[in-house]
A and B are shown apart, each in its own frame.
Chain A
Amino acid sequence: MMNAHDELWPLLEALCEDRISAEEVARLESLVLSSKEARQLYVRYIDLHGALYWNAAFAARTEDVLPTSGEFETSAPAPEHGLTWERFADSALSDPSASDEAANVSFLRQELPSTLTPVRSASAKSEILSPRRTNARRQRRSRILNRSLAAVASIVALLGLVYWNAGDGLRLASFWGPAHESMATPDGKPLLAEHTHSGSNSDLRNTNLAAHDHPRSPRQPVTLPLSTQGEAVQNVPPGNLASLGSNLEKTGTAPQTLVAEQQALADEAARVRALAESVSAFVKAPSKPSITLVYPAGGLSSWQVIQKIDSQLASTWKEREVTPARMATDATWHRRVYLDLVGHIPTAAESEAFLSDNAPRKRERLIDRLLDDPGFARNQATIWTNLLVGHATREEADRDSLYDYLRVSFAGGRPWNRIVAELISAKGRSHENGATNFLLAHLNENAIPAATMTSRLFLGRRAEHAEHLQEAFGESRPASFWELNSFFRQASSRPVLVLDRSSGKQVQVAHELFDLPVSGPVYYEVANGTSLAAFPRFGGQEVDDAGTTNRRQELARILAEDADRQLARAFVNRVWSQFLTLGFTSPVDDMGPHNLPSHPELLELLTTNFVREDYDVRELIRWITNSKPYQLAAVSNSDFAGSSLIERGEGHDFQHHLSRPLTLEQTFDSILVMESPVPGQQQFWAEAYQRRQSWLSQYILPVETEENTEVEIYSSLNESLSLMNGELTRGLLAAEPGTLLSEVLRNHPKDSDRAHALAMSIVSRPATDEEISMIRRAAVKKPNQLRSREEQEGATLDLWRDFAWALLNSSEFSLNH
């Protein structure tokens, strides 16, 4: 059909396989621009490519969770035509007979509550608008639905989910309301409304059920058609409508097509689930977007805040007779700001472009660009995932899901106090609501870690020994600790189970965070054995201790209101230390009267403006990275090369920068950036993330205490050995086409250019004269003795490999300086 475009085919092939050259791109472009037909082919081809990619990505996702599939194709009854979301979700929800036919009937009978039996007669083939379904019936159904929607969902899950994907649609529907009835209990029995109530759980469940019985409850899942047909109708211009409609009707009659269609819908449903995970944070307040696309004015401008930081520090320096260091060189600063903002070193091309940029305000412009880069959100998410749940996360929590939640939150410019409120008040399943995982990771030991971490991370305070000067001898946590702890005593977690049909066993796929209606105080013992009661009280606010109070929501509210600005202050302190190595207090998470800030006015300046800017993380970082101290060279004698700071704090006025070692993640990601120097070849960060986590897990040891801490052993010798001989180094120094070495050698015939290119790639600066002459000296020694061309080439390669190795192993690489 497209013989006219014989030239186009190979270009499209090359494009899809990521091996197209710049010349070919240009040619492709001119061909596509030259004719409508070529444009059509281009779009169709890319669409095919993308559809294959999308489908495969989706398929993998469901397989992860559900080992059994395939039954759908063979035994599910095919609806007559025009699938809608409604019917799809509907049939799985309220219509067990649909599953019934496909799955194990006796099992269903056993597990179904009697209240559901009336619904079972409904046919899978009925539609919501079918006259067979009366209004009365619908009302009744919707009530039953509300009550048992999730229960059925769990049955569907237990059945091995013939309609698995519909289950996702279902979860989408329940996205708007509490999802926890849909859970199975830890012992695997579905928590079915009236039947399984016992113990303390039942109170809560009854309460919720009552709420759901509200006639206006909008829990009926879907009211709009979402089928391809429906959407086609919506989008197709009238002229095309008829043909397309008939087209779909035709396909509707062919069973095979239907399977395909159902599959497509199922694909969408699963995609929904994935999306719900990543966007759940944004659903709440559409009327008041939390996204800061354009940085709002109001209060001081960014520039004014930066000026104030600089002038305050300048007067401190003058007062204390401190001379600030010189400015860091552009090359050094450029590398620093990349590491700090996006978590890895710049590519050689980026460094060169920056160094040759002579326009004014180039540092400021770069900061703006990097704050907008997806790498910024990735980097912040990495930092905070490590802080919130560590590398060696407890089994209950889904670390990756938390990472995704944070990444999206930071990318979307979510205010910090809202992030904190969400982490504290989150409910739902670990893999669906990433925010649940902070608490899921810390509910052990009577939620002592939850209180400890909340206080340290969000308030910069050690609640567990707030009065440790007096209480140091025994373990007597102060009353205020237990008052904070009592906010977490309603929070509970339980596993989410599905039945793996192939093995007949229940498989745990996630955990759910929910609340029990616990009331009253927490009792704790003091050193002399007396029991004391602690009621939920925090920040001077006392909360009703009744079981009907959702204590976590109350705590989230108090934290987010941040009456004394300590939430903001603690964050400012920590972020300052992220960029300037030291916070205003050391450590940053032990603020208080015993550990006063080194620069109180500066801390208050930043805190006030951070609050005024609505806890805008990007804006805070913009101020800090544009401020004078961040521009200065690191010229100290202090030794920060180790895993811990050798000598901290005292007397440091940020008059020079303080070097610190690269983190594990920075090291890994930086090597990744070096690995892909071919222009156009992109970093596959999502893939890299998994590789990175498995690489760095070998350097993390969990510590078995109630504080859920861990140690990192990637320091000194282990680090050196890894950089000298480790897998990353070996991969980087390989000579296959496309690697750093081979590209540098191929593109640069001259030795000095090669030296520059390697130095630029690895330590982000040009090679020095000494290095070039060193290489020349080393080069003349060898090749003369070698006769064959191969031997000479091998020797040349070795020479450059050794130079690259030396750069990679230098302290210049291993420090953020």
Chain B
Amino acid sequence: MSLFNPEGMSRRHFVRHLAATAATIPALEFISHVRANAAELKKNQKSVILMWMSGGPPTIDIWDLKPGSKNGGEFKPISTKGDLQISEHMPKTAQVMNHLSVVRAMSTREADHGRGTYFMHTGYVPNPTVVHPSFGSVVSYELGTKRKELEIPAFVSIGGGREGTGPGFLGMSNAPFVVDSNGGIRNADLGGVSAGQLSRRLDMLGSVEEGFINSQRGESGQSHKEVYQKAVNLMTSKQMEAFKVAQESPETLARYSPTPNGGMGMGGMGGGNGFGRSLLMARRLVEAGVPFVEVDFGGWDLHNDVFNTLKNRMLPQLDAGIAALTTDLKERGMLDNTVVIWMGEFGRTPRINQNTGRDHWAASWSTMIGGGGLKGGLAVGETDSDGIAVTSGKSYLPGDIWATAAHALGIPLDTVHTSKRGRPMKIANGGTPIKELIS
């Protein structure tokens, strides 16, 4: 049995071959060299960057303001380069809104963090009998396997990885690879183990696995094998450089930062400049050919003191990050190939509660989507003047967002995945692409 079984020369064969010649060529350098040949192929590859606002963002204060309503809150709308208005605390983003659109007629069902996270990531409501794949895993499954030159995981989650964002029945080889915003990856170096020794270890592992699988069961072993293949690929890959966000120039780092002087040094999740740094890493990963990157930005569960927190902590980071990413992608000619999506598990109550906060609200809220050849500058759908109901007739589910993304990525919408029990599942839960956004 071969532990690794990619097309063509098997990985194991390859490494074994190396072992023989290890005396003359520094092995791992050689591997990287060979792989570098595939480098320039990925210019036209499509990708998704998902900005995940963990906790449920108050979209009524960001994308769909209600001036004049008792629910309107403290913020005023401002005009943008697109055909819509957004919050006054998003001035930089306003300048790139010609590339981005807001779907203002989200009406989902789940107002619980766990269920909302699951629903928005997978398009399916939680079901006790099956675990659905998140859309990142779907993209990994559909596109990752086709990108032969990609040696790092096809689904990278920066700071995420919570329940409901996993691969479900698509198997662990499509699980998100979770890293922190500093791009540090633990245990990814061989630590002095030679290529020859690694090859022998993998051979032995193959034998041990074979024995176990034969005596017990099949598929867990299969999945294990694929994960190990990915791990070995990753350890020996030059593409790991993509995680090293610190290689960017201070000027670039500063653009992603809310403070004028840059100061990206703080890092960390949910505070400081972690979000900007994560977005910059996402751009690097997309450049390296990763088809789906999720960036987690937490701290939105604003039951209390929503306006001060937004104004002083959350929105400056959000604004700088979105604007810098959009501009950066545009300048590099990548925006048309990169779908940018912004969403959380739900919106927040239009009504302001006794603690000057907003609670969970799934009935009428907004997501943002752009790039990837989709139309920018639009507001799709609308809510009433108090923001408590969708009035545009058509409302949207996460499946519609993912169908739109699938369309932009070129994944056929009639793709069906079959659960391990043989149940067929339509991609994006049978959602339809949002027609206003499609050219």
- A touches B (Cβ under 8 A): yes
Residues 763 to 781 of chain A near chain B (Cβ within 8 Å): 768, 770-771, 774-775, 778
Measured CA separation A165–B230 after assembly (Å): 57
Which residues from chain B contact A293 at a C-beta distance below 8 Å? none
The smallest beta-carbon distance between B219 and chain A, in angstroms, is 5
Q: Per-position contact with A for B158-175: 1 when CB-CB < 8 Å, else 0?
A: 011111001111011101
B220 touches A472 (CB 8 A): no
In the complex, whether B33 has a CB less than 8 A from a CB of chain A is no
CA distance A770 to B190 in the complex (A): 27
How many Å lie between the Cα of A448 and that of B222 in the bound state? 43
Given contacts A706-B301, A711-B161, contact A717 B129 (CB under 8 A): no
Contact flags B267-278 to A (C-beta < 8 A → 1, else 0)? 001100000000
CB contacts (< 8 Å) of B207 on chain A: these are 770-771, 774, 806
Task: Select which of A637, A645, A798 is within 8 A of B219 by beta carbon.
Answer: A637
Decide: A647 and B130 in contact? CB cutoff 8 A. Answer: yes
Q: Which of B109, B111, B223 contacts A642 (CB 8 A)?
A: B223
A611 to B306: give the CA distance in the assembly, Å.
47
Please give, as numbers and ranges, the residues of chain A lying within 8 Å of B190 by CB-CB distance: 725
The answer to whether B87 has its CB under 8 Å from any CB of chain A is: no
Q: Which residue of B lies closest to A803 (CB)?
A: B204
Question: Chain B contacts of A644 at CB under 8 A?
Answer: 131, 163, 166, 168
Contacts of B353 in A (CB 8 A): 525
Q: Does B366 contact A (CB under 8 A)?
A: no
Interface residue? B434 (CB, 8 A): no
Closest-CB distance, A149 to chain B (whole angstroms): 38
A595 B169 Cβ-Cβ under 8 A: no
Of all chain A residues, the one with the shortest Cβ separation from B209 is A810
Q: Per-position contact with A for B211-235: 1 when CB-CB < 8 Å, else 0?
A: 1110011111101100110110011
In the complex, are the beta carbons of A474 and B234 less than 8 A apart? Answer: no
Give Cα A807 to B205, complex, Å.
7
Determine if A334 is an interface residue (Cβ-Cβ < 8 Å).
no
A646 CB contacts on chain B under 8 angstroms: 131, 168-169, 171, 420
- A323: shortest Cβ distance to chain B, in Å? 16
Digit string of B189-216 for contact with A (CB within 8 Å is 1, else 0)? Answer: 1110100010011011101111111001
B109 touches A650 (CB 8 A): no
A531 contact set on B, CB distance < 8 A: 354
Are A647 and B420 within 8 A (Cβ)? Answer: yes
Assess whether B178 is in contact with A649, with CB atoms less than 8 Å apart: no
Contact status of A701 and B363, CB under 8 A, knowing A716-B227, A811-B221: no
A635 within 8 A of B: yes
* CB neighbours of B287 from chain A (8 A): none
| CA of A722 to CA of B351, assembled, Å | 47
Given contacts A639-B223, A646-B168, A704-B301, contact A810 B129 (CB under 8 A): no
Contact call A725/B191, Cβ cutoff below 8 A: yes
Q: State whether A704 touches B298 (Cβ < 8 A).
A: yes
Per-residue B-contact encoding for A796-817, CB less than 8 Å = 1, 0 else: 0010001101110111101101
Evaluate whether A705 and B187 lie within 8 angstroms (CB atoms) in the complex, with A475-B111, A642-B166, A717-B177 already known.
Answer: no
Binary per-residue interface labels of chain B (12-39) against chain A in the complex, 1 for a CB within 8 Å, 0 otherwise:
0000000000000000000000000000
Instruction: Name the residue in A472, A586, A698, A703 with the highest tally of chain B Cβ atoms < 10 Å from its Cβ.
Output: A703
Asked whether any CB of chain B lies closer than 8 Å to the CB of A578, the reply is: no
B197:A798 contact, CB within 8 angstroms: yes
Contact B129–A650 (Cβ < 8 Å): yes
Q: Residue B421 at the A interface, CB < 8 A?
A: yes
Q: Which residues of A contact B419 (CB under 8 A)?
A: 647
- Contact string, B367-409, partner A, CB cutoff 8 A, digits 1/0? 0000000000000000000000000000000000000000000
Give Cα A139 to B173, complex, Å: 75
CA distance A288 to B149 in the complex (A): 70
The residue among B185, B227, B351, B419 with the most chain A CB atoms within 10 A of its own CB is B227
A802 CA to B19 CA, complexed, in Å = 15
CB pair A724–B129 under 8 Å, yes or no, is no
> Does B330 interact with chain A (Cβ within 8 Å)?
no
Q: Are A473 and B362 in contact (CB under 8 A)?
A: yes
Name B218's closest neighbour in chain A (CB-CB): A637
Chain A: which residue is nearest B230 at the CB level? A717
The tally of residues in B whose CB lies under 8 Å from a CB in A reads 82
The residues of A that contact B112 with a CB separation of less than 8 Å are 464-465, 468
B182 within 8 A of A: no
Q: Is the CB of B161 within 8 A of A639?
A: no
> Which residues from 715 to 761 on chain A have a C-beta closer than 8 Å to any C-beta of chain B?
715-718, 720-722, 724-727, 730
- 1/0 per residue, CB under 8 A from A, across B327-367: the answer is 00000000000000000000001010110000111110000
Selected from B128, B193, B208, the residue in CB contact (under 8 A) with A810 is B208
In the bound complex, residues from chain A placing their C-beta under 8 Å from that of B218 are 637
- Whether, in the assembled complex, B299 has its beta carbon less than 8 Å from a beta carbon of chain A, the answer is yes
A333 to B262 CA separation, bound complex (whole angstroms): 58
Flag if A640 contacts B220 (CB, 8 Å): yes
In the bound complex, CA of A809 to CA of B198 (Å)? 12
Q: How far apart sit A634 and B221, CA to CA, in the bound complex (Å)?
A: 13
Pick from A465, A711, A815 the residue with the most CB of B within 10 Å. Answer: A711
Instruction: List chain B residues, Cβ under 8 A from A721.
Output: 185-188, 231, 234-235
Q: Given the interface contacts A643-B166, A648-B129, A718-B178, does A705 sit within 8 Å of B209 by beta carbon?
A: no
Shortest CB distance A205–B (Å): 27
Q: How far is the CA of A724 from the CA of B110 in the complex (A)?
A: 40
Please, how many angstroms separate the alpha-carbon atoms of A650 and B129 in the complex? Answer: 5
What chain A residues lie within 8 Å of B201 (beta carbons)? 802, 805-806, 809
Is residue B76 within 8 Å, beta carbon to beta carbon, of the partner chain?
Answer: no
Tell whether, in the assembled complex, residue A725 and residue B235 are in contact, meaning their CB atoms are under 8 Å apart.
yes
Asked if A707 and B113 make an inter-chain contact with CB atoms under 8 angstroms apart, the answer reads yes
Does A387 count as interface, using CB distance less than 8 angstroms?
no
The yes or no answer to B54 lying at the interface (CB within 8 A) is yes
A531 to B109 CA separation, bound complex (whole angstroms): 24
Q: Does B73 contact A (CB under 8 A)?
A: no
Known: A646-B169, A650-B128, A717-B177. A641 touches B113 (CB 8 A): no
Report whether B234 and A778 are in contact in the complex, using a CB–CB cutoff of 8 Å. no
- Whose C-beta in chain B lies nearest to the C-beta of A587? B128
Any A CB within 8 A of the CB of B55: yes
The contact of A817 among B109, B216, B228, by CB within 8 Å, is: B216
Assess A641 versus B224: contact at CB under 8 Å? Given A711-B163, A730-B191, A778-B200: yes
Contact B162 A711 (CB under 8 A): yes
In the assembled complex, A529 has its CB within 8 A of some CB on chain B: yes
Bound-state Cα–Cα, A445 to B360, Å:
14
A713 at the interface (CB under 8 A from B): yes
Tell me, yes or no, whether A709 is within 8 Å of chain B by CB. yes
B361 to chain A, nearest CB (A): 6
Asked if residues A704 and B55 are in contact (CB atoms below 8 Å), the reply is yes
Q: Is the CB of B235 within 8 A of A639?
A: no
Contact between chains at B161 and A701 (CB < 8 Å): yes
* Closest A residue by C-beta to B128: A586
A681 contacts partner chain B, Cβ-Cβ < 8 Å: no
Task: Return chain B residues, CB-CB under 8 Å to A730.
Answer: 191
From A638, A703, A727, A775, give the contact of B298 (CB < 8 A).
A703
Contact partner, A705, options B54, B189, B269, B354, Cβ 8 Å: B54
Q: Is A636 an interface residue (CB 8 A)?
A: yes
Q: A716 contacts which chain B residues (CB < 8 A)?
A: 172-173, 175, 177, 227
Q: How far is the CA of A61 from the CA of B367 in the complex (A)?
A: 53
Residue of A525, A721, A774, A815 with most partner-chain B CB within 10 A = A721
Known: A475-B359, A716-B227, A778-B200. 7 other contacts (CB 8 A): A531-B354, A595-B128, A641-B172, A644-B131, A716-B177, A725-B190, A811-B220
Q: List 14 A-B contacts (CB under 8 A).
A: A523-B354, A525-B359, A639-B223, A642-B223, A647-B169, A659-B217, A705-B55, A721-B186, A770-B210, A771-B208, A798-B197, A806-B208, A810-B208, A811-B224
Listed in ascending order, the chain B residues whose CB lies under 8 Å from chain A are 54-55, 109-114, 128-131, 153, 159-163, 166-169, 171-173, 175, 177-178, 185-191, 193, 197, 200-201, 203-205, 207-213, 216-221, 223-224, 227-228, 230-231, 234-235, 269-270, 298-301, 303, 349, 351, 353-354, 359-363, 419-421
10 residue pairs, one from A and one from B, having the closest CB atoms: A475-B360, A806-B204, A641-B220, A650-B129, A811-B224, A713-B178, A721-B187, A806-B205, A711-B162, A475-B359
